[in-house]
Structure 1
Amino acid sequence: MDAVVDETLRKYPPVGSLARFCTKDYKIPGTNINIDKETSVIIPVYAIHHDPRYYPEPEKFDPEWFSDENIKIRPKFTYLPFVEGPRICIGLRFGLMQVKVGLTALLSKYKFSVNEKTSTPVTFNPISFITLRPRDIHLKISHRDN
């Protein structure tokens, strides 16, 4: 279940980008790029999560990207649903636990499938600035036969 949740967060991260403020002058290693102190930096989370250099066939849903073997070979900071480093989301563990408990409860009682009204690929609401909100996802939900 961990890999499925991680892959869902890769394909559909809670935020499309992050803004950070550079606190000291910084030279990006291996480049001639300098970031001056007090410069705003935008981190394009959605673009990183969909970059074929890190995730070949990025539009494909593939939980195997989160196998132990694949995690080891993927460059650091190419999976950022909760940010990383000292500013990592403090609700990370609680949020993931809530998602897994909720999924377990729902999937044990119901079957979910995509309704024909849902457009593919998934598109996002352009009005939603802070979070990525998909639009027009319709599901068929039925009781599981136990």
Structure 2
Amino acid sequence: MFCSDLLHTPVPPVVRVHHTEPADYGVRTILHCSVLGFYPQKVQVSWLRDGVEVSSDVSSTDVLANEDWSFQVHSYLELTPRRGERMSCRVEHSSLPQSLEVDWDTLALDLKCVKVTVGILFFLVGLCAAAGGAVYFWWRRRFDFSPVDRQGQTSSCLSEF
């Protein structure tokens, strides 16, 4: 009886969405949706772009059995990401009261853009500081205001000491 109840208890899936290789906006990449540890076997996986189902450039594995009687399936979407769009993997399973949508986290892509921007800003600040130092050095050499005259003699106010 106990074993029978366990085999008929639905187990909800764990869903993860990530890219398979380093991604960047405007560069073709592949998103991977892993649907893991669910029971029973029947599951529906789809991709959404800004809430609209995507059917092209999608591929999936067969549903695979795990050693613990649960199942897994993997779905892949090939796309060129654009800034501001929302990519989601939608999973429908009997253990879920409603479909589960997991968004692709683009924080890594956004941070990459921020890092590049900050790097460029620091480079420009360094370049301006170097240019300012060069101009100052040139100006000091051109208009020598040292206490020693150009002929190598000290000025009259310093010679009294």
- Larger strand fraction of residues: 2
TM-score, normalised by the number of residues in structure 2: 0.27
TM-score, normalised by the number of residues in structure 1: 0.29
